[in-house]
C-alpha cells in the first residue's frame, strides 16, 4: 500500500480543519486534510441559510457551553472576530451585521469556502476528499490507514465535528478516535434544536402550526428573546433553539408571550369594558393563539366580569406560560452537538491531548458549544488557529 509522509494529517475539511491547515502551512509544515465527503466545508456552505453567519463581533466565553466554561478563553483571545473579519476583507468578501453582532456574507457562503481554499493553496496544503479513514495507530509517528494509502505524520488533528446534520456528513468518528487513545467524551446531546410537544400538548397545539411570535424563552436561569415558531411537532425559532441547548429531558421551559407589555395594567384599563378577553389578547397575539390560550387558561368573557385578582392571575400565566417538552427533533435538525472531548484532557493553549503528544482536537468535536449567532464558527476559527501554531 502506498505510504504518504506528512508533518501533519488533519481529519475533517470543515471550518476548524481548514483554518488549522492554513496556519500550519504558513509555518512551512507539510499538511494534508482528509475528508470522506465530496465537498469541503459542507456546514459552512449551509450556515446562515446559505449566507454564512461567519462570526459574531461579541464573542465571549459566556456565549459557550462547556463543563469547563473557561477553556475556550485562550483560543478566543488569540484569534478574534476581528481576525476573521480582516481575512474576509482581504479576500474582498462583503458582509453585513444582521442583529446582535451576527455577521453574514452579503452574497453567499461559498465565498468563505473559496477564501479558505485560496489560503490553503497559498500555504501548500493538500486536500483529499472522498477519502475513508480506517485504523489509526501511534508509535514514533501516527499511522493512518486510508483508501488512498497509509499516512504517516508527527501530528494528527481531529476536526471531524459533532453529530448534528448527518446528511452533511456528520459521524461519530472523532469520538471513536478519542476513545481509542484513552480520552473521555462528556455526555453528548443535540443542541440549537427544535423542541417537541409532549403527547397531550401536541393534540392541543399542532393546529397552531405556522404561527410565530416575538417572545422570551427561559429554562432555569437562562433566557433568550426572539422569534418562537409553532410547528406541527413542537416549537422552533431562534429563542427556542437557544434555550434548547440548556434544556434537559423532564425540565420545564417558560415562555413570556408578551415580554414588552404589562398586560395586567392593560386589563385594568379595560375593567369596565364589555370587550371579550380573547379579543383583547388578540390585539397582542395572533387570533388563533389568543383563542386557544384562553380556551386552556381563562375561558373568555367580558372584561368587566373579571376581578383584579383574576387579571393578575391571567397576566401571570401570559408572562409565564410553562410547558414540559416531550423531547427534541434530534441530531437531524440540531445545528450543533453539546458535549464532546473532555477539555480537562486538552491544553487550552494548543488543543493538544495532554497524554498523547501530537494528537489535537479542534472545533465542534471538543466540549465547547456556542449559542446561536456565529459563535460556533468563531470557535472553529479560533481553535483551529490555536492548534495551527503548534502542530
d(CA 161, CA 172): 8
Q: Are the CB atoms for 302 and 148 separated by under 8 Å?
A: no
What whole-number distance in Å separates Cα of residue 177 and Cα of residue 277? 59
Q: Give the start-to-end residue ranges of the domains of the chain.
A: 3-188+338-388, 195-328
- Asked whether 255 and 237 are in contact (CB, 8 A), the reply is no
CATH level 2 (architecture), domain 195-328: Beta Barrel (2.40)
d(CA 189, CA 19): 26
Q: Rounding to the nearest 10 degrees, give the CA dihedral for residues 157, 33, 42, 336.
A: 0
Instruction: Output the tens digit of pLDDT for each of the chain's 391 residues.
Output: 789 999 999 999 999 999 999 999 999 999 999 999 999 999 999 998 999 999 999 999 999 999 999 999 999 999 999 999 999 999 999 999 998 899 999 999 999 999 999 999 999 999 999 999 999 999 999 999 999 999 999 999 999 999 998 988 899 999 999 999 999 999 999 999 999 999 889 999 999 999 999 999 999 999 999 999 999 999 999 999 999 999 999 999 999 999 999 999 999 999 999 999 999 999 999 999 999 999 999 988 999 999 999 999 999 999 999 999 999 999 999 999 999 999 999 999 999 999 999 999 999 999 999 999 999 999 999 999 999 999 9
The Cα 257–Cα 240 span in angstroms is 13
Q: Which CATH number fits domain 3-188+338-388: 3.40.350.10, 3.90.1150.10, 3.40.30.10, 3.50.50.60?
A: 3.50.50.60
Alpha helices in 233-366 (DSSP H): 238-244, 263-269, 277-281, 287-297, 308-319
Residue 228, helix vs strand vs coil = strand
Spatial separation of the C-alpha atoms in residues 165 and 335, rounded to whole Å: 7
Q: Is the pTM of this model over 0.75?
A: yes
Q: What local confidence, expressed as pLDDT, does residue 1 receive?
A: 75
- Cα–Cα distances (Å) from 382 to 56, 70, 126, 225, in that order, read 12, 14, 21, 27
Contact 283, 361 (CB under 8 A): no
H helices present in the chain, as ranges = 15-26, 42-46, 73-78, 81-90, 110-122, 173-180, 199-205, 238-244, 263-269, 277-281, 287-297, 308-319, 375-388
Cα–Cα distance, 259 to 225 (Å, whole number): 9
Is residue 277 within 8 Å of 303, Cβ to Cβ?
A: yes
Amino acid at each position: 500500500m502506498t505510504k504518504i509522509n506528512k508533518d501533519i494529517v488533519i481529519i475533517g475539511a470543515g471550518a476548524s480543519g481548514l483554518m488549522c491547515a492554513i496556519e500550519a502551512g504558513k509555518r512551512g509544515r507539510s499538511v494534508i486534510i482528509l475528508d470522506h465527503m465530496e465537498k469541503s466545508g459542507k456546514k459552512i456552505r449551509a450556515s446562515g441559510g446559505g449566507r454564512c453567519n461567519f462570526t459574531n463581533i461579541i464573542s465571549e466565553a459566556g456565549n459557550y457551553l462547556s463543563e469547563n466554561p473557561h477553556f475556550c478563553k485562550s483560543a478566543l483571545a488569540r484569534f478574534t472576530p476581528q481576525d476573521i473579519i480582516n481575512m474576509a476583507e482581504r479576500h474582498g468578501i462583503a458582509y453585513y451585521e444582521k442583529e446582535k453582532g451576527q455577521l453574514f456574507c452579503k452574497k453567499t457562503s461559498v465565498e468563505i469556502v473559496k477564501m479558505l481554499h485560496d489560503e490553503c493553496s497559498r500555504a501548500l496544503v493538500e486536500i483529499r476528499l472522498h477519502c475513508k479513514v480506517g485504523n489509526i495507530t501511534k508509535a514514533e509517528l501516527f499511522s493512518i490507514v486510508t483508501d488512498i494509502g497509509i499516512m504517516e505524520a508527527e501530528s494528527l488533528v481531529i476536526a471531524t465535528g459533532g453529530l448534528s446534520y448527518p446528511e452533511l456528513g456528520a459521524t461519530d468518528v472523532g469520538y471513536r478516535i478519542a476513545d481509542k487513545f484513552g480520552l473521555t467524551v462528556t455526555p453528548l446531546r443535540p443542541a440549537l434544536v427544535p423542541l417537541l410537544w409532549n403527547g397531550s400538548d401536541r393534540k392541543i397545539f399542532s393546529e397552531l402550526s405556522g404561527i410565530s411570535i416575538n417572545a422570551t424563552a427561559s429554562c432555569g436561569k437562562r433566557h433568550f428573546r426572539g422569534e418562537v415558531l409553532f410547528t406541527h411537532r413542537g416549537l422552533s425559532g431562534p429563542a427556542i433553539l437557544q434555550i434548547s441547548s440548556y434544556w434537559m429531558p423532564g425540565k420545564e421551559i417558560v415562555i413570556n408571550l408578551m415580554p414588552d407589555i404589562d398586560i395586567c395594567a392593560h386589563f385594568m384599563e379595560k375593567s369596565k369594558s364589555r370587550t371579550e378577553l380573547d379579543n383583547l389578547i388578540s390585539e397582542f397575539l395572533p387570533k388563533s393563539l389568543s383563542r386557544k390560550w384562553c380556551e386552556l387558561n381563562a375561558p373568555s368573557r367580558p372584561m368587566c366580569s373579571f376581578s383584579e385578582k383574576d387579571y393578575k392571575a391571567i397576566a401571570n400565566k401570559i408572562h409565564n406560560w410553562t410547558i414540559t417538552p416531550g423531547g427534541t427533533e434530534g441530531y437531524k435538525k440540531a445545528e450543533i452537538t453539546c458535549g464532546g472531548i473532555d477539555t480537562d484532557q486538552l491544553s487550552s493553549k494548543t488543543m493538544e491531548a495532554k497524554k498523547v503528544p501530537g494528537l489535537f482536537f479542534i472545533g465542534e468535536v471538543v466540549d465547547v458549544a456556542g449559542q446561536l449567532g456565529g459563535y460556533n464558527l468563531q470557535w472553529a476559527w479560533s481553535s483551529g488557529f490555536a492548534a495551527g501554531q503548534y502542530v
